[in-house]
Structure 1
Amino acid sequence: MGSLHPNSVPHHHPHKVRDEELPPLSMGETDEPNKDSLDAGALFVLKSKGSWIHCGYHLTTAIVAPPVLSLPYAVASLSWVGGVVFLMIAAMVTFYSYNLISLALEHHAQKGRRLLRFRDMADEIMGPGWGNYFVGPIQFIVCYGCVIASILLGAQCMKTIYLLSSPEGSMKLYEFVIILGAFTMVLAQIPSFHSLRYINLLSLILCLIYNICATAASVYIGTSNKGPPKDYSVQGNFTNQIFNAFNAIAIIATAYGNGMIPEIQATIAPPVKRKMFKGLCVCYSVVVFTFFSVSISGYWAFGNQAAGTLLTNFYNNGEPLVPKWFLYMINTLTFIQVSAVGLVYLQPTNEIMERTFSDPKKGEFSSRNVVPRLISRSLSIAVATLIAAMLPFFGDINGVIGAFGFIPLDFVLPVIFYNLTFRPTKKNPIFWVNSFIATLFSIVAGISAVAAVRQISLDADTYRLFANV
């Protein structure tokens, strides 16, 4: 057997002499993890116990999150044709890319190395250093940024509910951030990714409900005389239109992204063959329904007045355009679901801390491992809560994170991984398709990052620490 990356999972087979001589084997023979070789992060957080339907729950929670309510705003910066076309392109490319990652992971598992983390995959395929110095840091920033954003968005929903019941209430946004942070700190102690499967099933149901509600509210307002006059022109001069378009592309890419396909596939019990594809089919049936219904109905109802979050459009000068009970319901559903989203994106951080502070030779629930887990996860959420309270304009920062993080992880690296793993010849169309995707979205990532930074500079005058927005 060739040399193994220290973070991959070795598997032994009596017939194997070297990788090229490995005879065809069933996945069931090759991808059962050797627990003695696993570090604490893989052993305790990335437990390989789930089914393909559990995988679908995890994927749906990671992708179909409340940022879907920003899609009408993104479409407004791209117009009808540009918005709908890029929504379709992003859906097809990410579904394709996620399947390529899954196929590459299955290939390495068949060869005797089941890779459980994105950074392990980068080191194995692209060479030592790529995981620890490029993919790992980007993934950490992206996922931890989503935890911060989830706490902030959930707190904004709580504040909306509070003001609906007490319009003259004096509580500030940062107080709700602290409340939600404390709630998240408790939920963060759930030990493993697999343990979230039923929470993520609830998340799937809730995201369907609140997206249906948002679509129905948009249609209701759009068919009444309560909404703004419908204007579908793209606002601003030519330069602003270009920058806004690329900022919108970053928003859409962020909505479709998740940045942790290997970690989600790691939760599947062996054999993993084709299970990820089934999970992706579950996820994308929800993605297509929710993303397109919210995007099209929201833009149709509000045109170029579509707000950064669709829920904002349900008010006019502070007065609700839909019944109050409806606003209570949709904000409550969003608040609950975004809590689940935060837990999913916390898992890569949990895995890093577990690997660093826990002992895989001790029991998962031994005092040696429970105490460090409690302290490290509590500190992680405390820091995220502090950042969310201090920077309530974190949505603008997330645009930069999306351009620098989600586009490389979900649009560029998967096709590179596939080409390097299977080495299709230049006569094979898949080589050129993958090369085109990698090149195009690398350019898009660069321009979108510039557009997102520009948006931050334009909004900088409105930024205040602990602002009550």
Structure 2
Amino acid sequence: MIEEMSRQVPNANQEQDDDGRPRRTGTVWTASAHIITAVIGSGVLSLAWSMAQLGWIIGPITLILFSLITLYTSRLLADCYRNSDPINGKRNPTYMSAVKSNLGKTQIWMCGLCQYVNLCGTAVGYTITASISAAAISKSYCFHKHGHEADCSMSYSMYMIAFGVVQVFFSQLPDFHNLWWLSILAAVMSFTYSLIGVGLALAQSISRKSGIITTVTGTVVGVDVTSSQKIWNAFQALGDIAFAYSYSMVLIEIQDTLKSTPPENKVMKKASLIGVSTTTLFYMLCGCLGYAAFGNKAPGNMLTGFGFFEPFWLIDIANICVVVHLLGAYQVFSQPVFAIVEDLVNQKWPNWKILTKEVTVISWRRFPIKINLFRLIWRTAFVAISTVLAILMPFFNDIMGFLGAVGFWPLTVYFPIEMYLRQAKIAMLSPKGVMLQILSFLCLLVSIAAAIGSVEGVIISLGKYKPFHAKS
């Protein structure tokens, strides 16, 4: 009865929402910033390479198809934030709780495995990417000083450790609601380095030197790659593009930051349209112009593969922006992992003060800094483990492709479609139900192909790799 009254009289308690949690204050702009922070990430840097593997026809078509599928399924997922009624139903604050409410307990384990393995893997992938960009700053200065043929290789490990140390501090922010400022900063950084990459690629494509070859089908068998490499690389490129659009795994968590009016699902659909449209524009520019600039020899990472050498200061600014952006993106993908573990522990031991007591370290008016002992220990351990794994497996393109392949079908396509069918009471054999099932099956085939290509790339890279000796 009290819960019903609180829903009917939302102003009865200005500090809490209808589920008893602190009142949410997010807007379409903060949600869009979270999405852009999550989507325009390290994936954009590999798109020129992906285009080189797929060519001028299949490459752009693939980018557009992935964006349309992501946008469509994100709209379905947004309607699953609340049960039964998208406006007044009970909230699902996490992706897993939405799956549990709509599909039952049998599928929640599959969802949890896919989502949290992917979230943890993304933390590792972003540590790798940030360290590569940080190392590229030193390399660009070395090339500028000693010439483009100089040996400027250096180890990634120290940069990974430094990135991890910074993340230890950021990870102490209690939850998603405290991240809006970091996401806005990260979104600005992502726009900046994407624009720099587009500008440099445009300039280089205009003054393109002889020997830069682009083709309708991408890399040429017998010239650039062998026939088997062509297949594996094309599959891996699909995984890289899938990873570039991966944000569905945190969509529900982002939607849970939105205030109740206007309805969260309508705001989230607008934010998804803004976020996906913006990123697709950048992706098309980066992918197509990057391929035009470098041709079939496009580097795996447009800003750190040193297709660009000059102006070195502009490349340094771009890579600094990458690092700053990934500081925020790491948290966007890690906060759901922090939240699920801490909720489970608090439910199991609710009376342990070590788990619940908050100590205010700095009492700023808008940004009070509070420390919780369990949060400090557990989140520091998570960052340390992800950093060690990044040091052990510093394979940029292979890791990006594998994460995209593993997460795309289940989290971006399968669960949103299944939950929507169940909640909207659409029969499986109805025209719309059959159409959605066909879409899901086709996306499953794409994910399988991308996973195979990425695993093949990891195996090849492991054969050449010595742990703790990775150099750029």
Deviation at 1:240, TM superposition (A): 3.7
1:391 touches 1:464 (CA, 8 Å); kept in 2?
no
Pick from 99, 120, 123 the counterpart of residue 144 of structure 1: 120
1:157 aligns with 2:157: no
- Output the CA distance in 2 between the equivalents of 1:416 and 1:26: 34
TM-score by length of 2: 0.84
Partner of 1:294: 286
- Output the CA distance in 2 between the equivalents of 1:280 and 1:188: 25
1:11 touches 1:113 (CA, 8 Å); kept in 2?
no
- Output the CA distance in 1 between the equivalents of 2:48 and 2:80: 35
Partner of 2:312: 324
- Output the CA distance in 2 between the equivalents of 1:406 and 1:28: 40
Amino acid paired to 2:269: F
Partner of 2:178: 195
1:52 touches 1:279 (CA, 8 Å); kept in 2?
yes
Deviation at 1:390, TM superposition (A): 2.0
1:210 touches 1:334 (CA, 8 Å); kept in 2?
yes
Q: Deviations over 1:337-356 (max 9, x none)?
A: 11111111111111123213
Partner of 1:351: 339
- Output the CA distance in 2 between the equivalents of 1:77 and 1:449: 16
Partner of 1:57: 33
- Output the CA distance in 2 between the equivalents of 1:77 and 1:84: 12
2:37 touches 2:329 (CA, 8 Å); kept in 1?
yes
Q: Aligned ranges for residues 39-118 of structure 1 at < 5 Å?
A: 48-108=24-84, 110=87, 112-118=89-95
- Output the CA distance in 2 between the equivalents of 1:27 and 1:136: 33
Residues 48 and 276 (structure 1 numbering): CA distance in 2 closer, same or farther, change over 3 Å? same
Q: Deviations over 1:183-235 (max 9, x none)?
A: 11111111111211111111222111111110111111122245752232433
- Output the CA distance in 2 between the equivalents of 1:416 and 1:250: 23
- Output the CA distance in 2 between the equivalents of 1:105 and 1:26: 21
Larger deviation, residues 291-300 vs 392-401: 392-401
Amino acid paired to 2:169: V
Deviation at 1:379, TM superposition (A): 0.9
- Output the CA distance in 2 between the equivalents of 1:26 and 1:59: 32
1:55 touches 1:264 (CA, 8 Å); kept in 2?
yes
1:229 aligns with 2:212: yes
TM-score by length of 1: 0.85
- Output the CA distance in 2 between the equivalents of 1:11 and 1:334: 48
Residues 63 and 375 (structure 1 numbering): CA distance in 2 closer, same or farther, change over 3 Å? same
Partner of 2:454: 452
2:127 touches 2:163 (CA, 8 Å); kept in 1?
yes
Pick from 223, 238, 246 the counterpart of residue 257 of structure 1: 246
1:254 touches 1:407 (CA, 8 Å); kept in 2?
no
| Structure 2 residues without counterparts, runs of 5 or longer | 144-150, 361-369
Amino acid paired to 1:299: Y
| Structure 1 residues without counterparts, runs of 5 or longer | 1-9, 17-24, 36-42
Amino acid paired to 1:446: I
Residues 240 and 28 (structure 1 numbering): CA distance in 2 closer, same or farther, change over 3 Å? farther
Aligned length: 437
Q: Deviations over 1:20-72 (max 9, x none)?
A: xxxxx99999x94322xxxxxxx68xx73312211111111111112211011
Amino acid paired to 2:120: Y
Amino acid paired to 2:326: V
- Output the CA distance in 2 between the equivalents of 1:62 and 1:100: 19
Residues 273 and 413 (structure 1 numbering): CA distance in 2 closer, same or farther, change over 3 Å? closer
- Output the CA distance in 2 between the equivalents of 1:206 and 1:33: 35
- Output the CA distance in 2 between the equivalents of 1:245 and 1:142: 22
RMSD: 3.0
1:413 touches 1:438 (CA, 8 Å); kept in 2?
no
- Output the CA distance in 2 between the equivalents of 1:241 and 1:205: 36
- Output the CA distance in 2 between the equivalents of 1:292 and 1:394: 21
Q: Deviations over 1:218-267 (max 9, x none)?
A: 11112224575223243335544333222211111111012221111111
1:338 aligns with 2:323: no
Deviation at 1:103, TM superposition (A): 1.4
1:399 touches 1:449 (CA, 8 Å); kept in 2?
yes
Partner of 1:246: 235
Q: What fraction of aligned residue pairs are identical, expressed as a percent?
A: 23
- Output the CA distance in 1 between the equivalents of 2:11 and 2:43: 38
1:68 touches 1:291 (CA, 8 Å); kept in 2?
yes
